[in-house]
Amino acid sequence: MRFEIFTLFPAMFEGVLTESILKRAQARGLLHVALHNIRDYATDKHQVTDEPPYGGGGGMLMKVEPIVRAVESVLGGESAPVILTTPQGQRFDQRMAADFATYPRLAILCGRYEGVDERVRRLVVTHEVSLGDYVLTGGELAAMVMLDAIARHLPNVLGNADSAPNDSHSSGLLEGAHYTRPPEFRGLRVPAVLLEGDHGAVARWRRQSALRRTWLRRPDLLLNAALSEAERYALGQLAADWSRGERAEDAD
């Protein structure tokens, strides 16, 4: 998959792209990231990319011409989603990350200042995406978050082929508790079932742990999770224990 990132600050991406999983994915040819400096597409001799808004009001806006030139010359008429990062966009989530991962090519336009000239939206933007209800100084961090979350859905990017479907949110639930060696630390023991090698029992325990954790931390997710009858019953038991004062431990 190829990402075309349009930004005024390409150097911000360096660390993210040159370490760990994203570095390896690029080295293996699974992921290509091209950084395009919008300033290079400005037409005037001072390479101006921002201006105060018509009508006043303070702040600066990103100008329309450099952005449209940049996007049109890089995409060259090929159709690809062009995502504008903006706090006014649709909220980014795991489903959106998986959907975007199905495209061979994706452009991300990093908004800055008070935003972009409205004509940028009309002319080149296909999707507007926000990370959440807070304001960042610019869209670069948001673009890196999206790039990372999308890239880990690409085939072979993650080491273990089945780790993405088990992630928090992929199943509609949070992930449950995990343990590694040693079996006991400062009196805290790893649940016995995990040490006994019964894979079926381990899978049931994990699902139960995920359900419990989701119920405690993000009960809103349970409304849309695909649950079996037995799981709905188990949740009812959790709720009944809770109301009797037998509080389920979060870290089991």
Instruction: Give the catalytic positions in this structure.
Output: 87, 114, 152, 167
- Span near ligand 6GU by CB under 6 A; candidates 16-24, 135-143, 177-185, 201-209: 135-143
Max Cα–Cα distance, the chain, nearest Å = 73
Distance CA 130, CA 117 (A): 18
Taking CB under 6 A as the criterion, which residues in 171-190 touch ligand 6GU?
none
Distance CA 245, CA 53 (A): 58
Q: One symbol per residue from 61 to 90: x for binding ligand 6GU (CB under 6 A), - otherwise; what is it?
A: ------------------------xxx---
Among 54, 104, 134, 159, binds ligand 6GU (CB under 6 A): 134
- Span near ligand 6GU by CB under 6 A; candidates 12-20, 134-142, 181-189, 192-200: 134-142
- Span near ligand 6GU by CB under 6 A; candidates 26-34, 53-61, 123-131, 154-162: 123-131
Among 53, 81, 138, 191, binds ligand 6GU (CB under 6 A): 138
Provide the minimum distance between the beta carbon of 217 and ligand 6GU in the complex, in angstroms, as a whole number. Answer: 22
State how far the alpha carbon of 205 is from the alpha carbons of 28, 97, 199, 208, 219, in Å: 36, 28, 10, 5, 19
Q: Please identify, using beta-carbon distances, which residue of 15 and 132 lies nearer to ligand 6GU.
A: 132
Instruction: Give the per-residue SS3 of 191-210.
Output: CHHHHCCCHHHHHHHHHHHH
Contact between 7 and ligand 6GU (CB under 6 A)? no
Contact between 37 and ligand 6GU (CB under 6 A)? no
**Which residues, including other chains, have CB under 8 Å from residue 13's CB and lie 6 or more apart?**
5, 7, 33, 35, 140, 143, 144
66: which 2 tokens?
């450099």
Q: Please identify, using beta-carbon distances, which residue of 87 and 172 lies nearer to ligand 6GU.
A: 87
DSSP code, position 112: B
Among 15, 52, 59, 132, binds ligand 6GU (CB under 6 A): 132
Contact between 136 and ligand 6GU (CB under 6 A)? yes
Distance CA 8, CA 154 (A): 27
Contact between 106 and ligand 6GU (CB under 6 A)? no
Total of chain residues touching ligand 6GU, rule CB under 6 A: 14
Taking CB under 6 A as the criterion, which residues in 141-160 touch ligand 6GU?
142
> What is the H or E stretch that residue 229 is in?
helix 229-243
> Regarding beta strands 82-91 and 105-110, do their DSSP bridges make them parallel or antiparallel, or are they unpaired?
parallel
CB atoms within 10 A of CB 216: 15
Of 92, 221, 82, nearest to 145 by C-alpha is 92
Provide the minimum distance between the beta carbon of 168 and ligand 6GU in the complex, in angstroms, as a whole number. Answer: 20
Which residues in this chain contact ligand 6GU in the complex, by CB under 6 A?
85-87, 111, 129-132, 134-136, 138-139, 142
